[in-house]
Structure formats: C-alpha cells, structure tokens
Structure 1
C-alpha cells in the first residue's frame, strides 16, 4: 500500500467517527428534551396544580388532544378535552361531626332594689317673730352709732356750748348724711331747748337729743306694709322696685318671711326676667316659707309675669302677692316707662297697695336722687333701706323721709334671712344713741 492510500483511509475513518459522534449528540439531546417535557406535563393522576385537590387516577389514560390546524385554541390549557374519559366520583369520608349542645342562656338573678323613698316636702324654716326685731338687731348699727350718737352726746353733754361746739354738732350731722336742711332744723331745735330747759347733764342732753331726732323721723307716719286682702277677696299687691345691685330679690324673699311670720299667705312673682338667677333665687326664698312662685321665660315681658302672678294669687286666694321687678337705672327713660307699664297692667286686675323702693343705705345722696325719679314714675309708698349695718351714714333715713314725704318701712341690718326689720323710729334712735 502506498502512502497516499493510507492517508485517505485514515481520513475516511476520521470522517465516519465524526459523523457518528454528531449523530449521537443529536439523539442524546432529543431524548433529554423528551424527558423534560414529560416531567413538566402533569400526568392523569387527578392533580390540578395550585388547587390543592387530588382526584383518583383513571384506569384509562387520556389520549393526547389534537390541535386544529396546528394552532392551540383559546383556553386549551384550562379546558378538558371532549374525548377524555370521564373520571368516576369517589366517596370521600367526612370527619365525624362534632355535636355541640347549645348552652342555656344564663339568666342573671334579678337585682333586688329597694324602692326610692318618696321625697318629703321641704321643711319650712322657723321664722323669728317680727315684733321687737329692730331692738334685737340694734347692735348692727354700731358704725352709725359711733359717728352720730357718740359724737353728739359727747358735745352736748360737755356743758355750755360755744359757737365752735355748735359748728362741730352741725358737721357731725352732715357727715351722717342727714342733709343740710334737716341738720339746720335739728341744731336750731337743740339750741332753743337746751336754753329753755336748762340742760346741764349728759343724761338731760341725751333725753333731749332723742326727743328731737325721733320727732324728725315723723313717728306719726304709717309704716305698716299693707298686706291684707281686699273685701272682694282679691289679694294685696306689693311691687318691689329699685336700681341694680341694691338687693331687691333678697328683700322680696325676706319680706315674704316677715309676712308669713305675721300669719299672711304669700305668692311671689318673678318679674325680673332679664336675670335668670333672680327667678331661681326668688323661688328658693319662697320654698323656705311655703310660698309659690310664678315665673316666666327668660327675657320675657315683665308686665305679663306680673299680670299672671296677680291672677294666680286671686285664684289661690292668697293674702298678698309680692312682685320682684328688674333692676333699672333711674336715668334710663325706657326702663322706667316699662316699670310704669308693669304697674298699669296689674291695676287691670286689682289695685297696687304698695310700691316699695329699695335703697342701698351706703349710697347716701345718690340714693336720694334715685328715690325722686322712681317716685315720679310709680308713686312710691314706702322705703326699704338695706345694708344699714354697713354704713356710718344712718342719717339717710331722715333725709329720705323729709325730701319725699314717704316713710321708711323696713330696714336691712345683715345678710341673715331674718335680718329685715320693720322700722320703728324710737328703737332706731335708741340704737344710734346707744
């Protein structure tokens, strides 16, 4: 064999081996792809991926589905082939049901509650008698006594008085708010009587001073509060008026106590509709003495409340109707006209027996100015001086009566419920002189 022939034989063997190797690689690759496809495709074991449900395997394998025109249809991956063998139903044993017997609802034992006690009617206050009340409260006038009584007695009891001494007497009276006219009258009376009677001792000076002061208080004036019902059965009516802050509502409540203590039946009318607390306060005062209270809506018409109060008082047959009016400045014409309207409306049912003006004794001359305006609008019949225990100017009593010709009927000497006393000129002067 030649060398060239040997070379060709070797080349041929190499070529055959190369072809065999290529064919082997191709066959091995196809076999691997086939195995992979079989592993990824779920067999007919009844398992549905992701569903968690396993069906019993079928005895007959499902034939592969044929494709139409070589294209898969819509939903082929989820649909079951029409020519697939129906899988039989398999009975699955359910776990035994647990029977839970319902529990009978727990019925709570009924609570045994004691019946609420019936509230008794509020106990009525024990009211101090009105007779001699001012004498019992005379110690409350200590401030006025130290200014008026002690100063005058010290001057008059010193013996013969010169002009300087009489000047001091005048100053003392003026400081006590008696007013210039009343002061001059008292000084002239004292000078004349001291000479004519020959006053030489402190006891004689005190007796003379008492006599002159009581005379100036005009003890002949009627100081009773007209609270008796009329012959036709209609109650007496009293209006309580005054400026703001003088204590009208409190005075009305205390006056109700005075009348009840004297055996009168009383009904209260809360005509101060501008201050909500006024009606509550008045109702509290009434409840303490067994007196009913008529009240209206807040900011309502005061005249309407006053009218309803008197009408109810007539229906109930009470002795007295006390009407608390709203505080008003004497300089406000509209409010003063409204007060006149209240009085006129009440007079359509019955007469108004009392119009009591409440004055703060500590205001002095301002109180007198207020009194004049109120007297022009509603015809004042009496004065109630409050806070007389807190002032050294007790002489305002003399001045009010002189200027208005209207008696002081009641005085307030404290914050207690029974510290409103009927005014008695003699007892008042005795309290001033000590």
Structure 2
C-alpha cells in the first residue's frame, strides 16, 4: 500500500493516469547501441551536448541520443517514465529530491556498484553533503553532474558608487534596503524568481520562509502555511519583488533572471550558485568581473542556502545499463571537468560536485571571486534541519516527500498569482494551507 501511494503521488504530479503507458526506446527510433538521455536544458547540459562527440569517438559502439526539456517539462516526463518503468530513457537527469525516494521504490540502478569498479572514478571525491543526498542505505543511486547551494549576487561597482557595503553574511533587511536604494528606471534593485513550479519560485522562497522562522508542517504534520512566520516571509518576498524586482516577475524563473542580471539590468540576484557559469562567461555576460558574491541572506536561521544537485541516474527499466554507466562516468569524471575548462573556459566548469575541482590551479584562479563562497554554501546547507523549529521532513528548498511535486506546484501557482497582483498573499496562503492540509492528513493517518 505504501508503494502504491508513492507511485500514485509521483505519477499524479506528472499529470498522467496510472493506466497510462510509456513508449519504449525502440519506438523512438533508437538502435540497440543508442543510449537515450533525458536532460534539463540548462547551460551546463548544453555544454555537455557540445562535447559529447568526444565520448562517441572514444566509444564507437555507443551512440548518444539527447532529449532536452525545460525544467518543469523534464520533471514531469522523467518522473512518469521512470515510475511506470517504460524504458524510454537509459539515463535520466534527476536531483537529490528524487534520487533517495526513487531508490527506495526500486526504480534506480545502484551506481555505487559501478563506481567502485571503475578505475580512477573515486566516488569519495564528491562533496560529502551531495553524495549523502543522492544515497539510499549507504549507496549512491545517482551521481552529481553539478551541485549548488544559493547565494546573493550583487554588482560591486554599483554598490561602490552608491556607498553601500555588502557584508559577507547579509540579512534580508539589508538586501531589501539596498534594492530600494539601487532601483531606478534603467536598473531593478533585485531579481527573484516568481515563475510557478516547485523548483522555480518555491526554491528561493522556501529558504526565505525557513530563515524567517516558518515551516510547512509542525512535528505532527499540521500544516503551517498560514502561520505568522510564513505570512511575514511570503509578504516580504512578494513585496520585494513587486516593488523592486524585474518586470514580469510572475513569469520569471532561473533563466529569465540569469538574462536580466547578465545583461546588466539588475543590481542583485538571489539564486543558485551555479549561475556563475553564465555570469562569468564573456560570451553570455556583460558583467564579468563586476559581480560580488555573498552568503544566502538570513533573518533568524543561519546557513539558509539550499542544497541541490542535478545528477545522473539509470532507471531500472533501461536495458543498456552498462553503456549508460559508461556515459554517466564520462560526464561526471574529473577528466570531464578538465575537458570543459580547457575547451570551453574554466568559468564554465560544472561547479560544486567534486572536491578536487577546487584544487585545480586554473579553476582556482577563474573562481577566486566565487569558488570559496560556493563551497562554503554547499557544505553549510542543512537539509536534515532546514528550519528554526522542528519539522517531520527533510530538505531546504523542498520537502523530501513524493507528494511535494504536486503540492509544491499548486502552492507555487498561488504565490505567482500574488506576485502578479491577481490575489492577496493572505488569500494565496489560505488556499495553499488547504492543499497542505490534505497531504498532512495522509501522514497523520499512517501507523
């Protein structure tokens, strides 16, 4: 019954009925030697595709077929395919939200077995917090391509001109004050995500809720989304982005904010540490060398940054796990990191996955502005204790329960509506509370 409930939750989140079928790899025109890879269309993944011919040249018996989708689309399609065991994909890009849950459900191949038998791969080189977040019962079921926490990015030149000093550990009030002072006709004070999606607006917002002393549930799974702490945090976030944020904030996610900041149209941006690959690349950014990096802003709870990794796993339904592992080990190996640095530039190296990355002289030089704060943010994240008060769940910017894909998406839609001015924060949270209560009751009823 427990497994059936989990299966129903993840498939419902993907928007499919339990009776729906999934196309097998053969129906996509793939050959027996083709490894089909489902990936999110972020910049680091685009780089991987551009270098994939190196893998195929070294492994002429394996052909690669990439299916790249936006984050929300990828989550839905990968979740449905893996849960239903359709065999559509041989490699899936998932996160530390899915990996341990899916491993428990028996949907993923144990990759520690492969890693330990691959000379020089060294799974112990992965940053410990990431390695643990992708593990189940001591084994990794996905390996990190890149890891991230969250931090504050700000224009050093603009702050200096305005006479504002940004501390290494800012408070949210200091950020709000700076945003108000730097906001102008040509420059917004700050970029913040407002786009619906549990991995979009809720990622930064949840860290704000946590540090304001809020939580989704109390220890007995009573929903807390209308508590004074949550209401204060959400009002702060919505007011900040409405008053001093980017135009069209309700439809802005990571990609839109990256463009705004990289093109010099925002004074600050609070988001993923992985954004440096865009901001410090002259090919995509007008602010190279002008950006300062500070720890995630706080109120009550310190170390408020999230912990996240885009990682690669092999569904149990794949009939080519050995070939799939060959590709995964190539894309997550130390040599791949050096390849990106040498071919595409050291600022574009997938950050936050391996400890050894931070010992490469060329990367240390390229990352001197952001490398240490990135590492400190990842190592300081506290997914096992994400809030000020005790909670029955783990995860900083998400709740590590299968229902959160659907619950988080519904709540995010309410928050986006408030950012768009379509409803008040109080009304958005009242509806969100009702959604959360339904999920909370299922846990209260469990023996």
Instruction: Answer whether TM exceeds 0.5 for this pair.
Output: no
TM-score (norm 2): 0.26
Normalized against structure 1, the TM-score is what?
0.26
Which structure exhibits the higher relative contact order, with contacts defined as CA atoms closer than 8 Å and separated by 6 or more residues? 2
